[in-house]
Amino acid sequence: MKIFKKKQTINYEGRLLDLSTPVAMGILNVTPDSFYAQSRVSGEKEIITRAENIISEGGTIIDVGAYSSRPDAANITAEEEYRRLKPAISLIKKHFPETFISVDTFRSDIVQQLYAEFGCFIVNDISSGEIDKRMISSVGKLGLPYIAMHMRGIPATMQNEQNCVYNNIVTDIISYFVDKKKELAEAGVTDVIIDPGFGFGKTLSGNYELLAGTDAFRILEQPILVGISRKSMFYKLLDTVPEKSLPATIAGNMVALQKGADILRVHDVKEACDTIKIYTEIQKFSK
């Protein structure tokens, strides 16, 4: 049986992001309408405090987002997205210069503007270049690390019935990424992280089928990011709300780690890091 060996480092402007042990990515939302209200920050003081908390609680990456991708979120212009992102990136770069930053955007113009002003960051693209066809070539030319996420449609249409139907959700998405890896390689994108896209064009049961099959993504031999923090796959199943779904998120993150996740994208960094620590200790005694 072939053993698939995943890439364990990401080149971040000459520094290596080590993923030989799983890490937590802390979410910093500069949006007024993110689905989880407690993740939203605005103003210099709140941004610095949130970034400081992510780092002090053990987070390795700060993921900054300015465009809410929940299904009923308002569309905003690229100018407004950049206006929200710029001060947040500036503050993090100034106060926490050694921290790895990712920017949650699907717009190549945003990537180019931020890179020209602030230098390296990880591009976290929910559409894998499907919305903005210039994204992948832009990332390749700039030599940036790239998170490719699976989504069908756009945020406004991703939960339409036709976008949530698969022959086999795991093998269909793996097939998608096989082709996407070729496209990325041809564009010169060498540091790629795979995100199966929980909640983006998937039914509630489809999300659980995907989580159960996450270990199959090892065949792609790239680091795997899992972002399930406080999502509807938990709070709808349990008939609760995002604010009360932390225990479910912790349980889901442990399963994700057991299935091969290298990065946990989370709102609750300390709890994710504790989960990683427990998982890592268990692994010492696993055959």
Q: What is the pLDDT of residue 1?
A: 43
Q: Would you give per-residue pLDDT tens digits along the chain (287 residues)?
A: 456 688 999 999 999 999 999 999 999 999 875 554 555 677 899 999 999 999 999 999 999 999 877 666 567 899 999 999 999 999 999 999 999 999 999 999 999 999 999 999 999 999 999 999 999 999 999 999 999 999 987 776 666 766 788 999 999 999 999 999 999 999 999 999 999 999 999 999 999 999 999 999 999 999 999 999 999 999 999 999 999 999 999 999 999 999 999 999 999 999 999 999 999 999 999 86
Number of domains in the chain: 1
In a domain, 47, yes or no: yes
In a domain, 65, yes or no: yes
Q: Among candidates 153, 155, 158, 197, which has minimal Cα distance to 177?
A: 197
The dihedral over CA atoms of 101, 196, 157, 35, expressed in degrees to the nearest 10, equals: -50
In a domain, 7, yes or no: no
Q: Active site residue: 107, 180, 202, 231, which one? A: 231
In a domain, 176, yes or no: yes
In a domain, 97, yes or no: yes
Sole residue written with tokens 């947040």: 88
- Residues sharing a CB contact under 8 Å with residue 98, sequence separation 6 or more, in sequence order: none
Q: Among candidates 89, 90, 85, 119, which has minimal Cα distance to 13?
A: 119
In a domain, 118, yes or no: yes
227: left (phi over 0), alpha (psi -120 to 50) or beta: beta
At 236, phi and psi to the nearest 5? -75, -40
Measure CA 221 to chain center: 17
In a domain, 46, yes or no: yes
The b/e string for 238-255 (b: 16+ C-beta within 10 A; e otherwise) is eeeebeebbebbbebbbe
Q: Is 0.85 topped by the overall pTM?
A: yes
Q: Is 265 a catalytic residue?
A: yes
Domain membership of residue 34 as a residue range: 19-278
In a domain, 34, yes or no: yes
Is the distance from CB of 140 to CB of 189 less than 8 angstroms?
yes
Give the DSSP letter of residue 73: P
CATH value at residue 184: 3.20.20.20
> 264: which strand partners?
24, 226
Report the C-alpha gap between 40 and 73 in whole angstroms. Answer: 14
> 274: which strand partners?
none
Q: Active site residue: 40, 265, 270, 287, which one? A: 265
